[in-house]
Structure 1
Amino acid sequence: MKLFSTLSLSILVATAKPAIAAEYEFDPAHTNVFFTIDHFGTSTNHGAFHGIEGVVEVDRAAKTGNVSVAVPLSKLSTGNSGFDGHLKSADLFNAEKFPEITFKSNEWEFDGDKVKSIKGDLTLLGKTQPVVFEATKFNCYDSPKLKKEVCGGDFKTTLDRHQFGMDFLKGAITPTVEVTLQVEAVKK
C-alpha cells in the first residue's frame, strides 16, 4: 500500500501544472500617475507623479495578480514649482508628514487574458480606502528594443479627496479627483 501511495504522489507531482506567474518590473519611462481636479469651475488643474518604480506579478492563466506600489511625493510635478510647493504643503498632500502614497492590490479582474480592473487599498494622508482602477486600455507586446515581453495599459479611477482627509477649500473646490495610472512593465 505504501508503494501505491508513493507512486500515486509521484504521478500527481509529475502531471501537476506549475504556476505560470510572471514578474514584471515597471518601466519608469512609461509609468506615471496623472490627476485632474476642477478649479473653481473655471479650468482643470493637472498634476503628475513621473518615473514610478515597482514590480508586479501576473498569472494570466490563473487570472490573478499582485502589485504593491509606493508613489513618492517628491515626484509630484505640475509644471509650476510654486503650485508644486502648495500641493506638497500641509494644506493638501502634507509631504513632510506623509512622504508617499501607496496602493496594494487585493483582487484582479480579467477579460480573457487582458486585465480589466484592479481592486485594492489606496493609502493617502495616513488614511486607507478601497479603490478600483478600471483598465481603459491593456496590451502585451514583444519589445523590439528590450527583446522582452512588455505589458501595460491605462487604468482610471475617481477619488473623493475628503475621504482621505484632504479638506482644503472644502465646499469651494470639488472633492472629485480623476486619477489615471499609465503603466508599462517589462518581464523579468
Structure 2
Amino acid sequence: MKKLLLATAMLGLFSSTIAAEYKLDPSHTNARFNIDHFQTSTNHGGFYGIDGVVQFDAQAKTGALDITIKTNTLNTGSKDFDGHMSSSDLLNVESFPEINFKSTKWVFDGNKPTEITGELTMMGKTHPVTLTATKFNCYENPMFNAEVCGGDFTTTIDRTLWGIDFLVDAGIPKEVELKIQVEAVKQ
C-alpha cells in the first residue's frame, strides 16, 4: 500500500510539471519584418498561415516553441515586391520553402515569459535569436471554448548571417526588425 501511495504521489508531482500543448492559431499568428530603405522609408512585409506547437506551463516556468513558416506566404502588399523578395537575390523561396524557429530557453517574470531564445533556421543556416515579449496573456477564448495563450514578440537580426546580403554594400542595412504575433489554442 505504501508503494502505491508513493507511486501515486510521484505521478501527481510529475504530471503537474508537464507543460500543456497549444497549437498555433494561424489567423492570429504572423511574423512581420521592417527594414530601412536607403534612409528614406521603411520596407515591410510579413508571413502568414504559420504552423507550430507550443508547450507551456506558467506554474513550472517552462516552455517550448517549434514553428514553421512557409516562405511562399510572404506578403508585402505589392506583387512585384513579393516577387523580388522571393527571388534568389533575397529569400530564394524556390530553394528554401520554410523558415523554422525552435526555442531553447524561456525566461519568465512571474508566470509570463519575457524572453524566448532559440535557433532560427533560414536559407539553410541556423543561428541563435532571442525574442523579447512586449505583451503576453492567457485567456478563455469563447470561439474555441479553450484557453488561448499568446503575445507580441520582437527582435532584430543581422540578415547577412543567413546569406541575405542583397544591397548591403549599396546602403541597405543588415539589421531587420522582426515583430511576431502569436496566439495558440490549448489542446
List 4+ stretches of structure 1 deviating above 2 A.
9-12
Identity of aligned residues (%): 54
2:6 corresponds to: 12
The 5 A counterparts of 1:72-87 are: 72-87=70-85
CA separation in 1, counterparts of 2:158 and 2:77?
24
Aligned-residue RMSD, C-alpha:
1.2
| Deviation at residue 20 of structure 1 after TM alignment | 3.9
Q: Find the residue that maps to 1:87 and give its secondary structure.
A: helix
Write the letter of the residue equivalent to 1:180.
K
2:96 corresponds to: 98
CA separation in 2, counterparts of 1:103 and 1:162?
17
2:184 corresponds to: 185
| Deviation at residue 77 of structure 1 after TM alignment | 0.4
| Deviation at residue 150 of structure 1 after TM alignment | 0.6
CA separation in 2, counterparts of 1:98 and 1:51?
17
CA separation in 2, counterparts of 1:185 and 1:107?
18
Q: Find the residue that maps to 1:66 and give its secondary structure.
A: strand
CA separation in 1, counterparts of 2:6 and 2:133?
38
User: Which ranges of structure 1 fall in alignment gaps of 5 or more residues?
Assistant: 1-5
Deviations 1:63-82 (A, max 9, x none): 11111111111110001001
Q: Find the residue that maps to 2:51 and give its secondary structure.
A: coil
Query: Which of 77, 94, 114 in structure 1 is aligned with 2:112?
Result: 114
CA separation in 2, counterparts of 1:70 and 1:25?
12
| Deviation at residue 10 of structure 1 after TM alignment | 3.0
TM-score between both structures, scaled by the size of structure 2: 0.93
1:149 corresponds to: 147
Write the letter of the residue equivalent to 2:181.
Q
| Deviation at residue 15 of structure 1 after TM alignment | 1.6
Deviations 1:83-106 (A, max 9, x none): 000001000001111111111111
Write the letter of the residue equivalent to 1:168.
F
Equivalenced residue count is 182
CA contact (8 A) 1:20 1:61 kept: no
CA contact (8 A) 1:47 1:76 kept: yes
CA separation in 2, counterparts of 1:20 and 1:104?
19
CA separation in 2, counterparts of 1:123 and 1:47?
19
Query: Which of 34, 59, 62 in structure 2 is aligned with 1:61?
Result: 59
Larger Rg: 1
Q: Find the residue that maps to 1:54 and give its secondary structure.
A: strand
CA contact (8 A) 1:160 1:176 kept: yes
Deviations 1:92-133 (A, max 9, x none): 001111111111111111111111111000011111110000
CA separation in 2, counterparts of 1:117 and 1:10?
40
CA separation in 2, counterparts of 1:115 and 1:13?
32
